[in-house]
Structure 1
């Protein structure tokens, strides 16, 4: 009975994917920020949005992403740059929320409700869809670790399931870790400091993306 994947290719992929899943990047940073700012439920919805985008990338791979990247490298370069701009925009928004003056709430005024799940899902989807780390993954990790002697349609579902599982676990851990600190977000000084740090991290990620690009 022949296997759908070649262990010689698949086992190195597991190691590379595990390192990419747990390493800091736009997706994991966004998961932490969402967890701290919106709570654990919104963090998990953001994780769902990011992995929905990952599924679209796998669908693109099934339709010939490798050939497209070879034929049109500039398109993927500019997509990576668009991702950097979007991440920088999120960072600037976070920094601005840290430095702008906050109006004093009325004593009987309820705290503002966090953004709903739809916004968290869409934000997560947008971050991952334009995440250059995904481009690096498909170009440098996935495509070279597919066995050309085996049917690609049979390999991709297994690689996709492995990737999504590892990403959900890693992103979820980052998001829930951030949510564990969400109670402190009611403290103005902590909230401002956190927003500034997250914003600076996101801007730093965007700068690294642009320099690498």
Structure 2
């Protein structure tokens, strides 16, 4: 049991360090918490954490390993993930263009409706962003296969899943909370359009790169 505690502590440490590394999930929280506020940011965090929980379960059960060892299946995941990120990025850039184009016209959508619409979409955006991230699939396969032995107890595996989910939600929720504080919101609103633009470019470029590598891996060498 002591050995299991050590494994769980190592798992938590590695996962915590990985969470703090900037990626699409990090950018998604910054973009949405900055523009739409705390509640939307928390829903994004919840979706991201459940995406990580799903990857963790698939890795523990061996399903992710099966997908990863089949080039065509893994390429499909990569194309899906890249396409989703590119769609997020291009949608953001399109929205920015529409706001700039109609900048002199009165807003037809109330702030309450805008808030409600984004709250409903926030969880699914967060969930899909991490679920369709091929790097997350590979990371959790490596993490689980290297740390969790075959004889690990069922209770230990359940605790591991709770640790991975709990740390993920805590980190992204804290990030959303800090970014949506009233004092910081007052400062960020003036640069929110630039944050949107930067995130849009990041999502688009990452999506295109992931999709390109996926399609290249399926192209037979001459």
Superposition TM-score tier, normalisation by shorter sequence: 0.7 to 0.9
Q: Distance in 2 between matches of 1:70 and 1:97?
A: 35
Structure number with higher helix proportion: 2
Residues 6/94 of structure 1: CA separation in 2 closer, same or farther (3 Å cut)? same
Instruction: Report the CA distance between 1:157 and its aligned residue.
Output: 1.2
Q: Distance in 2 between matches of 1:107 and 1:18?
A: 41
Residues 37/73 of structure 1: CA separation in 2 closer, same or farther (3 Å cut)? same
User: Contact 1:43 / 1:120 at 8 angstroms: preserved in 2?
Assistant: yes
2:180 maps to which residue? 179
Instruction: Report the CA distance between 1:35 and its aligned residue.
Output: 0.4
1:60 maps to which residue? 58
Instruction: Report the CA distance between 1:87 and its aligned residue.
Output: 0.9
Which aligned pairs between 1:15-164 and structure 2 lie closer than 5 A? 15-65=13-63, 67-69=65-67, 72-100=70-98, 101-106=101-106, 110-111=110-111, 113-114=114-115, 115-151=117-153, 153-164=154-165
2:194 maps to which residue? 193
- SS at structure 2 position matched to 1:123: helix
- SS at structure 2 position matched to 1:23: coil
- SS at structure 2 position matched to 1:113: helix
Residues 185/113 of structure 1: CA separation in 2 closer, same or farther (3 Å cut)? farther
- SS at structure 2 position matched to 1:43: helix
1:5 maps to which residue? 4
Note the residue ranges of structure 1 that are not aligned, 5 or more in a row.
Answer: none
User: Contact 2:60 / 2:144 at 8 angstroms: preserved in 1?
Assistant: no
Deviations 1:22-72 (A, max 9, x none): 111111111111101211101101111222233333333343325523653
Residues 89/67 of structure 1: CA separation in 2 closer, same or farther (3 Å cut)? closer
Q: Distance in 2 between matches of 1:137 and 1:212?
A: 17
Q: Distance in 2 between matches of 1:109 and 1:124?
A: 24
Matched residues, number: 208
- SS at structure 2 position matched to 1:150: coil
Note the residue ranges of structure 2 that are not aligned, 5 or more in a row.
Answer: 215-222
- SS at structure 2 position matched to 1:147: coil
